[in-house]
């Protein structure tokens, strides 16, 4: 990643971590076991919210406030099975 991009990200308070070349296979179980199910859960919960509460008759979308988004993310995380930790 370009230094200028990393600097801007870090100025916003986010710590950037780099994965050394040849090491991605070591994190693959995390991506498959946690991230992919987590992302799917959050997308499903978002779709559910959109259909039930978020979409107005005129096609516009109500804005979620920060704590609603945080609740959606936590709910998505809690739905991820922890069985993959034991393998």
Helices (H), 1-87: 3-11, 24-30, 36-49, 66-78
CA distance 46 to 53: 10
- pLDDT means per 10 residues in the chain (87 residues)? 85 86 78 83 88 81 80 87 60
Predicted local distance difference test score (pLDDT) of residue 82: 64
* Residues ≥6 apart with Cβ < 8 Å to 81: 37
Predicted local distance difference test score (pLDDT) of residue 20: 83
Predicted local distance difference test score (pLDDT) of residue 84: 55
Structure pTM? 0.57
* Planar angle of CA 81, 67, 40, nearest 5 degrees: 30
Predicted local distance difference test score (pLDDT) of residue 66: 80
CA distance 42 to 77: 8
Predicted local distance difference test score (pLDDT) of residue 27: 76
Placement of tokens 């995390």 in the chain: 30
């Amino acid at each position: 990643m370009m230094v200028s991009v990393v600097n801007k990200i870090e100025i916003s308070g986010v710590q950037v971590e780099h994965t050394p070349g040849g090491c991605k296979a070591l994190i693959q179980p995390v991506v498959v076991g946690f991230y992919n199910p987590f992302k799917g859960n959050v997308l499903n919960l978002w779709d559910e919210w959109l259909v039930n509460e978020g979409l107005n008759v005129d096609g516009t979308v109500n804005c979620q406030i920060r704590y609603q988004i945080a609740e959606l993310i936590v709910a998505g995380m809690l739905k991820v099975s922890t069985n993959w930790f034991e393998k």
